[in-house]
Amino acid sequence: MSDILAGLLGALLATNAPQGVSNLVVARAGFSFPLASTNDPVENKFYQILLDNDAVEKEILGSMDNADAFAREGGGGRSGPTLALKIQQRQDGLKKEYQDFIGLHPNHVNAHLAFGSFLNDSHDEDGACAQWETARQLAPSNSAAWNNLANYYGHRSPVKKAFEYYGKAIELNPAEPVYYQNLAVTVYLFRSDAREYYHLNEQQVFDKSLSLYRQAIKLDPDNFVLFTDYAKSFYGTNPPRWKDGLAAWTEALKVAHDEDDREEVCIHLARIHLKLGDYDEARANLALVTNANNAAFKTRLTRNLNGAVEKARTNAPPAAPRVGATSSKSSI
């Protein structure tokens, strides 16, 4: 089974998350999908559509990679329009598969959810919303339907419906960490709406968002992206909560998967230590950053650190005389 299909089977029905601190929050649906071979011809057909969805996505990604490589090598011609037409044709074919299946099986909840995700990925957000709304009406206890609709409303103003729908998704499936993360991001980004909806002041809104992040972390304690999203939130609190942010990045370091992750955390630790005036700690963290991809960040932070150290040195008050020291002045 390919990685893309695994993603479809494990996450397709709730992947369209709000724009937040990270680029994308990938949700898990928590559904039972048909196996490759069952005694139910309807489920076998639905599974085949998922396989076709996987194949189309792989083909599109491969075509785009080939086109990029061709362009880098100096190729010309009409590859751009031709590729766009090819992608559109493959998407149209898959769209018809979904439409034909749903026409025959209008009460198939997972089909509506999957078709909604396909439409959303094809930039037809209103069409996706219609499919998810149908799924919600067919299965009001389906948490993924509520989450996906919340994602849709989280992109629109006012976003109060997103708060309501994420809350319902959490109520229906309190063990799904991504629902807490999605709501945390939305509360954080739309603080004025959250203040009105939840009847909170600004600091309480920050606290609510951070609390939701912590609940997500509790349920998904090895998710490095989740840890970093939580840690980045402390930059935006008013005022910034530098010490809390330092603690959050320290925890993120514990779940870093590789050296790239660790260097990312070290950059943030250096930045916060600099804000706190902990110059030796800042320099020690910067010394751990060796990847050339991070050179620009390291150079900028090093420059800021050196400037802060010099400013502290020149602005330092003169040293007090030592006890028992003799004055250098001559007495007459």
- Given this model, what pLDDT does residue 167 score? 98
Check which CATH number belongs to the domain holding 289 and give it. Answer: 1.25.40.10
Q: How many residues does the chain have?
A: 332
Name the residue among 194, 176, 198 with its Cα closest to residue 185. Answer: 194
pLDDT in tens, 283-302: 999 999 999 999 999 999 99
**Is 231 within a domain?**
yes
Asked whether the beta carbons of 262 and 253 are under 8 A apart, the reply is: yes
Report percent pLDDT > 70 for the chain.
Answer: 78
Q: Closest Cα to residue 62, out of 36, 83, 33? A: 83
Q: Which domain holds residue 259?
A: 221-312
| 289 in a structural domain | yes
The 10s digit of each residue's pLDDT in 91-101 is 899 999 999 99
Question: What CA–CA distance (Å, rounded) separates 273 from 266?
Answer: 10
pLDDT in tens, 95-149: 999 999 999 999 999 999 999 999 998 899 999 999 999 999 999 999 999 999 9
Report yes or no: 20 and 229 within 8 Å, Cβ to Cβ: yes
- Other CB atoms closer than 10 Å to residue 93's CB: what's the count? 11
Does the residue 247 lie in any domain? Answer: yes
pLDDT at residue 26, rounded to an integer: 36
Cα–Cα distance, 25 to 154 (Å, whole number): 13
Into how many domains does the chain fold? 1
Residue 245 C-alpha from the chain's centroid: 18
> Residue 37: is its pLDDT beyond 60?
no
Does residue 254 lie within any of the structural domains?
yes
Phi-psi region of 196 (alpha: psi -120 to 50; beta: other; left: phi over 0): alpha
Tokens read off for 23: 């680029």
Domain membership flag for residue 181: no
Q: Is the pLDDT of residue 279 over 70?
A: yes
pLDDT tens-digit map of 49-87: 999 998 888 887 776 666 555 555 555 544 566 777 878
How is 186-200 classified by DSSP, letter by letter?
HHHHTHHHHHHHHT-
Domain annotation covers residue 331: no
Please check the confidence at residue 177 and state whether its pLDDT lies above 70.
yes
Q: Is residue 113 within 8 Å of 13, Cβ to Cβ?
A: yes
Q: Which of 144, 117, 143 is nearest to 130 (CA)?
A: 117
Q: Which of 56-65, 154-163, 219-228 has the lowest mean pLDDT?
A: 56-65
Closest CA to 233 of 254, 253, 211, 215: 211
